[in-house]
Amino acid sequence: MPLLELDGLRTIISGPSAACAVDGVSFAIDRGQTLGLVGESGSGKTLTGLSIARLLPRGVRTIGGSVRLDGSDLLAYDEHEMRQVRGARIAIVFQDPTASLNPTMTIGRQVAEGLRVHTGLPNAIARRRAVELLNDTGVPDPTQRASQYPHELSGGQRQRAVIAMALACTPDLLIADEPTTALDVSLQAQVLRLLDDLRANSQLALLLITHDLAVVAGRADRVAVMYAGRIVEMAETTELFRSPRHPYTAALLASIPPVDGVVGAQLHSIRGQPADLRDKGQRCAFVPRCPYASSRCETEEPLLTIDASHSYACFHPRPSWPEAVAVLPPQLRTNNQSAGSRSSTVGAPETTVGERPVRDFVIEVRHVSKLFPVARSLPLLRAARSTHAVSDVSFELNRGETFGLVGESGCGKTTLAHLIVGLEAADHGEILVDGRAMSADQGVAQRRRRRSVQLMFQDPYSSLDPQMRVGSIIEEPLRIQRLGGREERRRRVRELLGEVGLSLNLANSHPHELSGGQRQRVALARALAPAPKVIVADEPVSSLDVSARSQVLNLLTDVQGRRGLSLVVISHDLATVRHLSHRVGVMYLGRLVEVGRTDNVFARPLHHYTAGLIASVPTADPVTDHAKPAALAGEVPSSISPPSGCRFRTRCPMATDRCALEVPPLRETVEDHAVACHFPIHRTES
């Protein structure tokens, strides 16, 4: 008998916008098994998990089906009985660890709380057990961390603490809802490896909810694909990735930017928007976006076939893979089939492979450093320490080029972005725009020069004024820069909406009425408004699911080609940087450790940190991803007191005494490929 079994689960959102968010979902999970639940935002994944644990928000309720845990229907339990189940037998790891932790309580107290409530352990014993749990989940120096508050821990440490809380009472089922979305690639790999180990060692059943198919590829036993509240395909992981039968699954797989893809190639996005849950009707919900839809699909809802190995809900299932690729329309084919003929220098200065690029700099960053003072505990005392956010960074950006900047969280990427656009002033060094230092301008001249470099913020929702309408948000830079009259600005707003692929009707909408992809398009339109020469895009797609991500990446590439823009793309997603960038810089603890052409850096990394980052990237291939060796280990040291010499030496397998004494300079070892390492990785050049 399965540990967890859902049969026809139905959950609705009440009110004026009533919708069936979970519509007849059925699946089962055995002990020691992982089921990956994937789909776009709004497909019903999270509400399925919350329905299982009976943690639905106000206005959302379950109206049908069953949720059986070891044969007992949880939907028949009263609230008192469910409180005995939550935490003890079912635990949840939520998407945002910061929101899951109480900022007023120490980590140790929060981990111990579940033990005291469910097992009645005395405080002292529960606290000791909490330290053991933190140690078991890989939190460094667990005794010290147990006495700290959430804001004193890194993102990876907070996520591990949340996992420790969830595992405190050794539950039978763990629901992990987007557990790695906010983490960089190395922390993502560590957390996923931790979940794998916990499942294997304790026979834990794991429901892994994510929009990233690459995350489930190497660790889920089975995968269920959700669309519009329904399961549309379910199979063993290897079978589903090798032979997707539903067009939606095939489209999701085709939308993933490959790490070894062609720079600037058009990604394959799913046309249209996800289905409106309020108006699904008696038809296939994927009809408006499906290239294979027939009249039958318009009038009849396909049922999920009952098959032990591969189930799907489609009247026109695709043939087995790879035959399916040959018959997919262009918008659904993978990059490997459609991008081979595209130039690898789309939008870049004219050059040939192996040639040193033409030096036509629009941005020059020269030996820039930035320190932030860290105050002592007593506010009247002067700051005695500083955070080394950016340390002696130099690089150039060519006209029409995309420069990618990668690295783990806290390495200084966002600070460097703020320095480039003028939101922060450098303590040392200078930044030149078209050969002139930004700091040399004052007043009107400074404002004009700064409009040449615009910033796309990491979170479009928090960077858009919730009280302003979309049209006013896009027009605001034009008003501030005093560009054009009122009618001219309004005409410009209409042009920008069209350029980024948004309906003119959205000009009167507020940010909360838009999807994540639409908000990111608004952010791009606002950045384009003053006609800049450079856009600095800070994590432009980190909050988007796979289909919206491919749409925004395609848009950035198209806009760059039309306008001849230069881009600085900052991301911890190496696949995104690999897809967009002509050159890439790798940052670690405020320093650039490697710079070179993107294809060279990814194919032949010279720095051990770069090689570790690349090895940490999950791939949408269950066979190769599962066989990948462990990549980067350990935690990023404190930027307040970074290691002497090479800052990566505490995590480097090749470190020697020399690395502790000498700072390795960034020097070119092969043509247009520089590395800051005393013992770089040597590879035979072809």
Residues 407-438 have pLDDT tens digits of 988 888 989 999 999 888 999 999 999 888 87
Kindly report the backbone phi and psi dihedral angles of residue 526, in degrees, each rounded to the nearest multiple of 5, phi listed first. Answer: -65, -40
The side-by-side arrangement of strands in the sheet containing 72-73 is: 19-29, 4-13, 60-69, 72-73
Cα distance between residue 550 and residue 552, in whole Å: 6
User: Bridge partners of 227?
Assistant: 230
Among the listed residues 540, 428, 525, 511, the one whose alpha carbon sits nearest the alpha carbon of residue 475: 525
Cis peptide before 274 (omega within 30 of 0): no
CA–CA dist 468, 489 (Å, integer) = 16
Beta-bridge mates of residue 195? none
Q: What pLDDT is recorded for position 346?
A: 38
Size (the chain), residues: 686
Residue 481: per-residue pLDDT: 86
Cα(411)–Cα(589) distance, integer angstroms: 4
Terminal Cα distance for the chain, rounded = 57
- The domains of the chain are located at 100-170, 246-338, 362-452+532-675, 465-528
User: Which residues have CB under 8 Å from 682's CB, separation 6+?
Assistant: none
Closest by Cα among 418, 419, 451 to 434: 451
pLDDT value at position 572?
81
Token reading at 54 = 């009976």
Q: DSSP string spanning 380-394?
A: TSPP-EEEEEEEEEE
Angstrom CA distances, 676 to 360, 398, 608, stand at 25, 22, 10
* Maximum CA extent, the chain: 75
The pLDDT value recorded for residue 444 is 60
Neighbouring CB atoms inside 10 A of 261's CB total 20
Q: Cα(5)–Cα(309) distance, rounded to whole angstroms?
A: 17
Question: Across the chain, how many H-helices and E-strands are there?
Answer: 26, 23
Instruction: Tell me how far apart the alpha carbons of residues 624 and 219 are, in angstroms, rounded to a whole number.
Output: 11
d(CA 422, CA 343): 33
**CATH class as words, domain 362-452+532-675:** alpha beta
CA distance 640 to 374: 8
**Among the listed residues 440, 402, 409, 426, the one whose alpha carbon sits nearest the alpha carbon of residue 577:** 402
Backbone angles phi, psi at 260, to 5 degrees: -105, 25
pTM above the 0.75 mark? yes
Return the beta strands (E) in 308-425 as ranges.
Answer: 310-312, 361-374, 385-398, 402-406
Q: Which residues pair with 7 in a beta bridge?
A: 66
In the chain (686 residues long), the average pLDDT of successive 10-residue segments reads: 94 83 94 93 91 93 95 95 92 84 93 90 92 86 90 80 89 90 75 82 90 85 94 94 92 79 74 77 89 91 82 84 43 37 39 50 94 65 72 94 91 91 91 81 63 86 88 93 90 93 90 85 93 92 80 90 93 86 95 95 93 84 63 77 93 93 92 92 56
Quick check: 369 and 377 in contact, CB under 8 A?
A: no
| DSSP conformational letter for 526 | H
Distance between CA atoms of 62 and 575, rounded to whole angstroms? 39
Alpha-carbon distance of 422 to 88, in angstroms, equals: 51
* Cα distance between residue 302 and residue 284, in whole Å: 6
Give the contacts of 442 (CB within 8 A, at least 6 positions apart).
Answer: none
Q: How far apart are CA 502 and CA 494, in angstroms?
A: 9
The pair phi, psi for residue 232, each rounded to 5°, is: -105, -15
272 Rama sector, left if φ>0, alpha if ψ -120 to 50, beta otherwise? left
- The residue type of 392 is D
For residue 259, what pLDDT is reported? 65
